Structure 1
Amino acid sequence: MQEPYGEVFLVNKPYEWTSFDVVKKIRNALKIKKVGHAGTLDPLATGLLIICAGKKTKSINDYMGQEKEYTGTFVLGATTDSFDLEQPIIEVADPAHLTLDQVTEACKALTGEIMQIPPAHSAIKKDGKRVYESARKGIEVQLDPRPVTVSTFEITRLELPELDFKIVCSKGTYIRSLARDLGEALEVGAYMSKLVRTRIGDFNLSEAHEVQEIVDRIKAEKEANS
């Protein structure tokens, strides 16, 4: 492989893989150290993950700063400590009385420039530690609200207790926190049962490849050049 090597890979992250699992797999195939991802996807989320290798790692912050688009499902009437399926489900209140208008209005209130508290079960660092490490030990961590922009919060299906959504948002927005805040606004609780990242800036999930496809291509190119 000739230097300076640089490449950007658009990956469809598999369910239950961490973002670093994908980095590790591609790093091992390339056999170079400089490989990183441009924006974490939780293990239970799927969809577009940008992997930068070689000199392209200098562009990671540029990609991370771009607008994101997600689709997925919230479940109303219950919650979890992580606001997704990582933790046990806790029943809160029957959402059967809710109307589409009520849910739509609650979504509108979470649209625009808002202050959002990240979930305790997240990879944010506080005092040098990932906060999810403390959360999993039952240690309460106080996180400060921070400004994010939710430019679109659209309901694409409402069949209670489920709500399908399309969300377009800025860097640093936690969709799980939107589930929490929506559940609190409607006084019934909510958690995220599915999340797919469909776009980062001008890059779309339709352009992404499966991890094994990318690994196979890297190996084939190495063999062809050896």
Structure 2
Amino acid sequence: MNGILCINKPANMTSFDVCAKIKRQFKVKVGHTGTLDPMATGVMVVVLGNHTKLVPYLTSNKKTYRATCRLGIKTDTGDVWGKVIEEAAVSTMTEKKIQGVLDQFLGTTSQTPPMVSAIKVDGKKLYEYAREGKTIEVKSRTITIDYIQLTSLQENEFDFEVSVSAGTYIRTLCEDIGERLNTVATMSSLNRTKSGSVTLDMCQTLQEAMEKPHWHQPLPLLKEIRQIEVDDPTFIYHGKRYHATMEEPLICFVYQNQPIAIYKKENETTYKSERGLW
């Protein structure tokens, strides 16, 4: 069995838990295209069978979130489920003041990943160091924020929507926003509303997917990669190079409405097989 499921991940479950449930249900190899924190909800693309080979190409560089930022407290995890390590006064906030600060984050900037992330340093994940009480020096990463908009404001807490490049940590963004507002802050909710071309309205609940799955075809989800249909895929099965002058770094060959291989640009006129999908 091969398939792609778009899940609206529930809170209180890890991404691994979601995949494990689906694996038990369908008894096949399972993977996913992007981890969500246990308390986070929203878009999670789960791939089954041979479609797990598509994971690197379904993993989009653009993601959209709705988040809540709580002002006045800072925790050891960057979210409200961690231990409070600092408290600070919060001055009067207005929508104009907050949006003015949010606008400062637009564009390309650098961000230091939190110690609770799954990034590996010397073969070990950062959160594993954190559990041991160790702090490791982490290099900052380049991120891009294309859109950030305040959506509501309550006392000492506000909601916002943000579109970011992959690898952006919203909990860290909340902390940085707090600093610019001359206080401290932490993330109190997170919902992924879009990942690449997959939107929340395309997703099923986990229970729905288990009972009556809606299988998504791969080609629409691969639309960010140029697709070339072939009548005879023999040269692809033999791993031969493809000669063409194109700008795209990757191309996806399609045979009988199914992706069969990803080719990567080798030079100005040649593409080399990177991964067979059959």
**TM-score, normalising length: structure 2:** 0.73
Separation of aligned partners in 2, 1:78 and 1:19:
27
Name the residue aligned to 1:18.
Answer: 14
Query: Helix, strand or coil for the counterpart of 2:23?
Result: helix
Among candidates 93, 101, 108, match of residue 96 of structure 2: 101
Task: Determine which structure has more spread, i.e. the larger CA radius of gyration.
Answer: 2
Q: Report the RMSD for the aligned CA atoms in angstroms.
A: 1.4
Name the residue aligned to 1:197.
Answer: 192
Higher strand share: 2
Separation of aligned partners in 2, 1:177 and 1:96:
21
Query: Helix, strand or coil for the counterpart of 1:68?
Result: strand
Q: CA deviation at 1:86?
A: 2.6
Name the residue aligned to 2:141.
Answer: 146
Q: CA deviation at 1:66?
A: 3.4
User: How many residue pairs get matched?
Assistant: 213
Separation of aligned partners in 2, 1:213 and 1:89:
37
Query: Helix, strand or coil for the counterpart of 1:214?
Result: helix
Which amino acid in the other structure matches residue 143 of structure 2? V
**Equivalent residues of 1:95, 1:160 under 8 A apart:** no
Q: CA deviation at 1:137?
A: 2.2
Residues 79-118 of structure 1 correspond to what in structure 2 (within 5 A)?
Answer: 79-118=74-113
Structure scoring higher RCO (CA < 8 A, sep ≥ 6) equals: 1
Deviations 1:26-83 (A, max 9, x none): 1111112x21010000001011100011121122112223311110210011111111
Name the residue aligned to 1:69.
Answer: 64
Structure 1: gaps (5+ residues)? 219-226
1:186 counterpart = 2:181: yes
Among candidates 35, 44, 58, match of residue 49 of structure 1: 44
Among candidates 4, 8, 11, match of residue 4 of structure 2: 8
Separation of aligned partners in 2, 1:125 and 1:111:
28
Q: CA deviation at 1:147?
A: 0.5
1:12–1:197 CA distance, 2 compared to 1 (3 A) = same
Separation of aligned partners in 2, 1:177 and 1:171:
14
**Equivalent residues of 1:63, 1:200 under 8 A apart:** no
Instruction: Give the fraction of aligned pairs with identical amino acids, expressed as a percent.
Output: 38
**Equivalent residues of 1:37, 1:60 under 8 A apart:** yes
Name the residue aligned to 2:267.
Answer: none
**Equivalent residues of 2:59, 2:196 under 8 A apart:** no
Query: Helix, strand or coil for the counterpart of 1:85?
Result: coil
**TM-score, normalising length: structure 1:** 0.89
Among candidates 196, 201, 206, match of residue 201 of structure 2: 206
Name the residue aligned to 1:221.
Answer: none
Name the residue aligned to 1:136.
Answer: 131
Separation of aligned partners in 1, 2:101 and 2:155:
15
Query: Helix, strand or coil for the counterpart of 1:58?
Result: helix
Runs of 4+ aligned structure 1 residues displaced above 6 Å come to: none
Name the residue aligned to 1:37.
Answer: 32
**Equivalent residues of 1:155, 1:166 under 8 A apart:** yes
Separation of aligned partners in 2, 1:200 and 1:63:
9
